[in-house]
């Protein structure tokens, strides 16, 4: 089966897109800010929460908001402060902050100053943060908590200036260094995003300015992002979802965003109403909690609600739609590539799928040993070409959004297939309507009795049972079968019993071939997840 063509994402009036070859995000932002003037851009609810008079629906549009011209001036000053701290173009800046206006200004200033932004999870402990600092050897670390600042200093193997997100309130002395602001080229490194480390120590994917503009610009076009849109932003900023999609996309579109700082379902509902929001981006766990929140029908007024970072179970997709009137759009991306595919804004948003390639992105599916995988391009190359309906195969992507390699990891880069195709490590299949379905990571495949079992398929079946709140499927080693399918279930009522286990096994047996049915059912109060909601299957095995 063929995936639908990327052109279906674009309105009929669209003729061509500059997918990052001749520009950068900072340069585009500055042009947008100059045209927008005093228009509101960012509302920092993390500080405004202490001023109720600035939040309510009776407040004037400027109350609590930072305007486009004020954001331009603040990021220009912050760029000067980074230079004062000793950073030079091309130097890395580790940025480990919780969402706030100061943190956003610092991150944008890094890019405007020609430096390389290295986001780090603010929940990292000493060992995890130390790995990033030692690996990239930053000139500056922007950190919002004293303990983490001390950990960064201790891990540094090169001179390191450490500052808070306000960059210690330094005032740039005199004129800013000439010729250094907003002059990075599309080929210059802009961001190093660290992977989750499921195959060893995390490694940093180097994204250029061209990669960022291509990835973000593709979303702005496909999702019909306009300057009148307003995003309720409750995602962490250290991850590509919250930073590149949510924040950078808002700024490129000339739109505005409400920074909540953290996710709380009632705060999201309230912010959507009070700020007349049109957009919300979240992860499946957020939608699960929003579906039961009082007043959640406000989501039905949004122009677009997007889910990503982890698969959205079809049952949850339908539940959110039924309870709120909001048909969630699911998309698919990676740290190394930003976004690759998306369900359409105009057209069917199919539960359990991630749509089809975004503008400028090529996607192909190649089965192991087919001759079109890691060893070369072979048959089936080209945008949106798969190898048959329902056939599981590894997903490869190519385009201007794809990272050129990992930071100082030549061995990892050498494993890339020829022709610019990036092996995602994800397994997928194309349905009869030309939509891509993610079946899981290739390393998560369960092989039982010689048969391949894709966790996502079993999870979708079990997740439809009313007694199941959440479920993850892994393999348990077996002398007889190699592996046996194991279901880790979070019951809806918080309980769990052998009787329920047998009920779920019978439920699966009515809907799945015998080799796919779970032989073991275990109950948990919650599934182990990353900060972005991905199930940590290694902790379940």
- The answer to whether residue 422 is domain-embedded is no
Residue listed under structure tokens 């004037």: 60
- The answer to whether residue 218 is domain-embedded is no
Query: H helices of 12-67, where?
Result: 25-36, 45-48
- What pLDDT sits at residue 58? 29
537 touches 314 (CB < 8 A): no
- What pLDDT sits at residue 51? 42
142 touches 111 (CB < 8 A): no
- What pLDDT sits at residue 30? 95
- What pLDDT sits at residue 377? 31
- What pLDDT sits at residue 50? 37
Domain boundary among 184, 217, 240: 184
pTM flag (> 0.75): yes
- The answer to whether residue 276 is domain-embedded is no
| DSSP-based three-state secondary structure for 268 | helix
Domain boundary among 184, 212, 241: 184
- Rounded Cα distance between 311 and 327, Å, is 15
- Rounded Cα distance between 340 and 104, Å, is 25
The DSSP annotation for 62-114 comes to TTTEEEHHHHHHHHHHHHHHHHHTT--TT-EEEEE--S-HHHHHHHHHHHHTT
- What pLDDT sits at residue 16? 55
Spell out the long-range contacts of 191-195 with Cβ–Cβ below 8 A and sequence spacing 24 or more: 191/111, 191/116, 191/117, 191/118, 191/119, 191/244, 192/92, 192/116, 192/117, 192/118, 192/136, 192/407, 193/119, 193/240, 193/335, 193/336, 194/118, 194/119, 194/120, 194/132, 194/335, 195/335, 195/336
- From residue 46, how far is each of 16, 64, 94, 102, 117 by CA, in Å? 39, 11, 22, 11, 23
Assigned token pair, 311: 């698969």
- The answer to whether residue 54 is domain-embedded is no
Q: Which residues of the chain have pLDDT under 70?
A: 1, 13-22, 48-62, 168-179, 196-201, 368-390, 414-418, 450, 495-496, 531-532
- What pLDDT sits at residue 14? 65
- The answer to whether residue 528 is domain-embedded is yes
- Rounded Cα distance between 399 and 425, Å, is 17
The whole domain housing 137 covers 70-184
- From residue 28, how far is each of 34, 212, 241 by CA, in Å? 10, 12, 20
Question: For 100-229, where are the E strands, in sequence order?
Answer: 116-119, 140-143, 161-163, 189-194, 204-208
- Rounded Cα distance between 29 and 184, Å, is 13
- What pLDDT sits at residue 369? 46
The CATH number of residue 101's host domain is 3.40.50.980
- Spatial CB neighbours of 329, under 8 Å, sequence gap ≥ 6: 223, 304, 305, 306, 307, 342, 343, 344, 345, 349, 355
Q: Parallel, antiparallel, or unpaired for β 362-366 and 393-398?
A: antiparallel
- Rounded Cα distance between 195 and 34, Å, is 35
Assigned token pair, 396: 């490869």
- From residue 13, how far is each of 10, 221, 264, 341 by CA, in Å? 8, 11, 39, 21
- Rounded Cα distance between 116 and 2, Å, is 38
Phi–psi pair at 8, nearest 5 degrees: -65, -15
CB atoms within 10 A of CB 496: 17
Residue listed under structure tokens 């962490």: 236
Q: pLDDT digits over 205-228, tens only? A: 999 999 999 999 999 999 999 999
The CATH number of residue 510's host domain is 3.30.300.30
Domain boundary among 129, 164, 184: 184
- What pLDDT sits at residue 180? 78
- Structural domain total, the chain: 2
Angle separating helix axes 68-84 and 101-112, nearest 10 degrees: 70
- What pLDDT sits at residue 200? 56
Provide the 8-state DSSP code for 373. Answer: S
Q: pLDDT digits over 10-34, tens only? A: 887 665 555 555 689 999 999 999 9
Q: What is the helix (H) or strand (E) element at residue 471, kind and residue range?
A: strand 468-478
- What pLDDT sits at residue 47? 77
- The answer to whether residue 491 is domain-embedded is yes
- What pLDDT sits at residue 416? 67
- Spatial CB neighbours of 73, under 8 Å, sequence gap ≥ 6: none
Residue listed under structure tokens 């007024």: 301
Q: What is the helix (H) or strand (E) element at residue 152, kind and residue range?
A: helix 146-155
- The answer to whether residue 241 is domain-embedded is no
- The answer to whether residue 458 is domain-embedded is yes
């Amino acid at each position: 089966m063929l995936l639908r063509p990327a052109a279906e994402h674009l309105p009929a009036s669209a003729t061509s897109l500059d997918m990052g070859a001749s520009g950068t995000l900072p340069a585009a932002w500055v042009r947008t800010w100059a045209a927008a003037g005093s228009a509101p851009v960012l509302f920092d609810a993390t500080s405004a929460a202490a001023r109720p008079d600035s939040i309510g629906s009776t407040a004037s549009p400027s109350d609590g908001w930072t305007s486009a011209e004020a954001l331009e001036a603040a990021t220009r000053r912050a760029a000067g402060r980074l230079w004062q701290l000793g950073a030079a173009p091309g130097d890395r800046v580790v940025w480990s902050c919780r969402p706030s206006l100061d943190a956003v200004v610092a991150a944008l200033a890094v890019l405007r100053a020609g430096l390389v932004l290295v986001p780090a999870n603010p929940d990292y402990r000493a060992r995890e943060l130390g790995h990033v600092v030692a690996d990239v050897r930053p000139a500056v670390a922007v950190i919002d908590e004293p303990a983490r600042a001390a950990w960064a200093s201790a891990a540094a193997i090169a001179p390191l200036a450490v500052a808070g997100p306000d960059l210690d309130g330094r005032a740039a002395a005199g004129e800013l260094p000439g010729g250094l602001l907003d002059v990075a080229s599309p080929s210059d490194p802009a961001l190093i995003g660290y992977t989750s480390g499921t195959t060893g120590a995390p490694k940093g994917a180097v994204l250029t300015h061209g990669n960022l503009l291509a990835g973000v610009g593709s979303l702005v076009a496909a999702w019909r992002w306009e300057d009148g849109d307003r995003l309720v932003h409750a995602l962490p900023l250290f991850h590509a979802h919250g930073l590149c999609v949510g924040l950078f996309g808002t700024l490129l579109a000339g739109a505005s965003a409400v920074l909540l700082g953290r996710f709380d379902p009632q705060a999201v509902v309230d912010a959507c109403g009070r700020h007349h929001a049109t957009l919300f981006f979240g992860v499946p766990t957020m939608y699960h909690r929003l579906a039961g929140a009082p007043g959640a029908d406000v989501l039905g007024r949004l122009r677009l609600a997007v889910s990503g970072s982890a698969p959205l179970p079809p049952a949850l997709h339908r539940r959110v739609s039924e309870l709120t009137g909001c048909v969630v759009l699911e998309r698919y991306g990676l740290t190394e590539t930003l976004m690759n595919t998306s369900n359409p804004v105009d057209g069917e948003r199919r539960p359990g799928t991630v749509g089809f390639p975004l503008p400028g992105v090529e996607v192909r599916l190649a089965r192991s040993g087919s001759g079109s995988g890691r060893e070369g391009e072979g048959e089936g190359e080209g945008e949106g070409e798969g190898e048959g309906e329902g056939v599981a195969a590894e997903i490869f992507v190519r385009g201007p959004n794809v990272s050129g390699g990992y930071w100082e990891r030549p061995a990892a880069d050498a494993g890339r297939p020829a022709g610019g195709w990036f092996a995602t490590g994800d397994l997928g299949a194309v349905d009869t309507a030309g939509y891509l379905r993610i079946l899981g990571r290739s390393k998560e495949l369960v092989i039982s009795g010689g048969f391949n079992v894709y966790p996502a398929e079993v999870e979708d079946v079990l997740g439809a049972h009313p007694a199941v709140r959440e479920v993850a499927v892994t393999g348990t080693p077996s002398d007889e079968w190699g592996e046996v399918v194991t279901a880790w279930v979070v019951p809806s009522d918080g309980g769990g019993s052998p009787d329920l286990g047998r009920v779920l096994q019978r439920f699966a047996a009515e809907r799945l071939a015998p080799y796919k049915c779970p032989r073991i059912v275990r109950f948990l109060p919650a599934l182990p997840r990353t900060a972005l909601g991905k199930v940590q299957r290694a902790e379940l095995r």
